[in-house]
Structure 1
Amino acid sequence: MEYLEFKISCSQEFTEILMAELSEIGFDSFLETDDGVEAYVQEDLFDREAFDEVMGRYQEMAQISLTEGKMPKVNWNEEWEKHYDPISIGNEVYVRASFHAPKEDVNHEILINPKMSFGTGHHATTYLMLSHQLEVSHEGKSMVDIGSGTGILAIMAHKLGATHIEAFDIDNWCVENGNENFELNGMENVKMGHGTIREVSPKGPFDIVMANINKNVLLDEMEVYVSLMKPDAKLFLSGFYEHDIPDLQYRAESLGLHLKGQKVKDNWAAIVFEKD
C-alpha cells in the first residue's frame, strides 16, 4: 500500500481545519509540524480534483504553500518522538507516549504510540470526547468506539471501568496501531476490528456508543448507532464544527434521542445524546 505525502505550510489557525477537510476526501493520516501539517493518503484513493478544490478554497486566507511526493520509508517512532508531546486534562487524564516519563498525581494515565493514526488527544475533537467521558459513569458498562483511530476513547472507557468494549476503524494502520495501544494499556482481550459499522456489525446493545468521525458519516450512520443503544444509553459524537450541531441534533431527535450536553474547543464540537 503506497501513500502520497503532502507537506502543507499554512497559517497556524488553519491547520486543524485543513486536516478535517482532507479527512473527508480520503486522507487518513496527519502529522502536525511547526509550519503546518503533513498529510497522507493512499495512492489509489487520492482524488486530485477534490484535493485541488480544498487547497484552492483556503489558498489565500491560509497562505498555503505545498510540496508533494510519495511517502519515504521512515522510522515513525522517531518522527513522533520529535513532534508528539504529552497532554493533560486537569489532574484527571495524562496522555503520553511510551518514550515520555510517567506523571504522578494523575487519576488516569493513557499510553498512546500513535504512529500514523488519528486521535492522540491533541486534536480538539479527541480532547472534547475525553472530557465528556469523564462526566459519565462507565463502571460495569458496555461501550463501542466507532472509527477508533489510535483506540484512545476505548482505552479511556477501560480506565473508567467499562467491562465490555468493542472498537473498529476503516484504516489498516489504525487497526494495527490500536491493538498495540490496547496492549500497552492492559487491554489484551480487546481487539480492534476493520471496516465500517455496517461491515463490522458490532454486537450490541451498548450502554455507551462513541463516534468521532465527520459530519456526513455521522448523519449517514446515526440510525445504526441508535439501533445499538440500550434504553437510557448515551451517544457521544464529534468530528464536526460548532455550527454543525443543529443538523446533528435534528437528526438525533428524529430518531428518539435528546441532547444531554455539548462542549466546544477551537470551533470544534462534541455532543452527547441520551435515548428516550
Structure 2
Amino acid sequence: MDYIALHVPTTDETQSEILTAELADYPFESFESEAGVLKAYIRKEALPDCKDEVDALLGRYGCRGRYIAIETQNWNALWEQNFPWVDVEGRLRIRAPFHEAAPAGEAEVVLMPKMSFGTGHHATTWLMARALLDLELEGRTGLDMGSGTGVLAIIAAQRGAAHVDAVDIDDWADANCRENIAANGVADRITPMLGDVSRIAGRTYDFIVANINRNILTADMGAYAAALRPGGDLLMSGFFEEDVAAIRAAAEGFGLRYAATASRDGWALVHMRREA
C-alpha cells in the first residue's frame, strides 16, 4: 500500500503541535517533526477525499504543504538506514535484526516494520509498551486494535498472554505482523486479522490495547466496551494530552471506570477498566 508524505515547514514547535492536532482530524496515520518540517503520512487513496480541506486548513495558518509519494521499497530502505533500537526504561528493547541483541535479563522484540507503523519510536507506542510491562497479562486473552507491526501483541504474548487477536485495516500491516510474530516465536498465540473493528463483533477479551487516534477511538468505543470482559483493562493511546478528557468521557459513557493516565512528549495514554 502506497503512502503520501505531507511536508509542512513550520515556524516553531508550537505551530507544529497545533497543525498536528488539526491534521489528526483527517486520515493521517502518523506524524513526525524534523528540522522545522512537520511530516504527516496518509494512505495514497485516502488523500483525494480530504486534500482540498487540508490545503484550506494550512492556508488559514499561513502554511503551504508539499505532497511526496512514498514508494514501498524506498520506505523500507529509509527505515533500514535510520532506525535505532528503542529502550523502554531498560526493561525492554525494540530492535531490528541488524541491531545488537538485548543483554541478559532484558526483554526484546525484533521487528522489521516495512510499511507498518509501530516501531516503538513514537511516544504513543512507547507509552503502550511500558503500560503492558506493568499490566498483569499471565493467562489472559487480549486484542491489539490497529496492530501495525504487531509489536504490542508480541509484548503481551511474551509476558504470558494466552492469546491475542491483532487487528489492522492495512494489508501491509497484516502481512508484516505475521512476519514479526513468527520471527519472535509467538505465532501460536497471536492471530492477525485484516479488517476494522467489525472483526471483533461477538468476541470478548480480558484486555484491549488500541493505539490509533482520537476520532477512531471515540467512534469505536462502544465496540471496545462490548468486547471487554468484567475486570478487563482497556489501554488507549494515539492522541494528545488535551484529548484525555474527551477519551475518558467517551469510555465512561459506556460504563468503563477510569484507572490512570500517562504522557510523553505531549502525547497521552488512558487506562480504563470494566468493573469485575
TM-score range, shorter chain: 0.7 to 0.9
Following superposition of structure 1 onto structure 2, how do residues 16-31 of structure 1 map, counting pairs within 5 Å? 21-22=22-23, 24-28=25-29
- Structure-1-length-normalised TM-score: 0.86
The reply to whether residue 163 of structure 1 matches residue 162 of structure 2 is yes
User: Could you tell me how far apart the structure 2 residues matched to 1:247 and 1:170 are?
Assistant: 24
Following superposition of structure 1 onto structure 2, how do residues 135-154 of structure 1 map, counting pairs within 5 Å? 135-154=134-153
User: Could you tell me how far apart the structure 2 residues matched to 1:128 and 1:22 are?
Assistant: 22
Q: Could you tell me which of 49, 69, 72 is aligned with 2:52?
A: 49
AA at the equivalent of 2:250? R
Q: 1:204 and 1:124, CA in 2 relative to 1: closer, same or farther beyond 3 A?
A: same
Deviations 1:131-177 (A, max 9, x none): 11111111111010111111111011011110111011111221122
Following superposition of structure 1 onto structure 2, how do residues 210-249 of structure 1 map, counting pairs within 5 Å? 210-249=209-248
Deviations 1:188-241 (A, max 9, x none): 23342111111x125632110111111121111111111111110011111111
AA at the equivalent of 1:108? A
Q: What does residue 104 of structure 1 align with? A: 103
Q: What does residue 195 of structure 1 align with? A: 195
Q: 1:201 and 1:15, CA in 2 relative to 1: closer, same or farther beyond 3 A?
A: same
AA at the equivalent of 2:99? H
AA at the equivalent of 1:193? M
What's the CA shift for 1:32?
6.6
Alignment gaps of 5+ in structure 1: none
Q: Is contact 2:201–2:223 with CA below 8 Å preserved after alignment?
A: no
User: Could you tell me how far apart the structure 1 residues matched to 2:41 and 2:247 are?
Assistant: 28
Q: 1:55 and 1:43, CA in 2 relative to 1: closer, same or farther beyond 3 A?
A: same
Identity across matched positions, percent: 34
User: Could you tell me how far apart the structure 1 residues matched to 2:185 and 2:33 are?
Assistant: 28
Q: Is contact 2:158–2:186 with CA below 8 Å preserved after alignment?
A: no
AA at the equivalent of 1:129? M
User: Could you tell me how far apart the structure 2 residues matched to 1:194 and 1:23 are?
Assistant: 23
Q: 1:104 and 1:19, CA in 2 relative to 1: closer, same or farther beyond 3 A?
A: farther
Q: What does residue 84 of structure 1 align with? A: 83
User: Could you tell me how far apart the structure 2 residues matched to 1:20 and 1:182 are?
Assistant: 32
User: Could you tell me how far apart the structure 2 residues matched to 1:12 and 1:106 are?
Assistant: 41
Alignment gaps of 5+ in structure 2: none
Deviations 1:35-56 (A, max 9, x none): 6455443333212123214433
Q: Point out the more displaced range, 237-246 or 97-106.
A: 97-106
CA RMSD between the two structures: 2.6
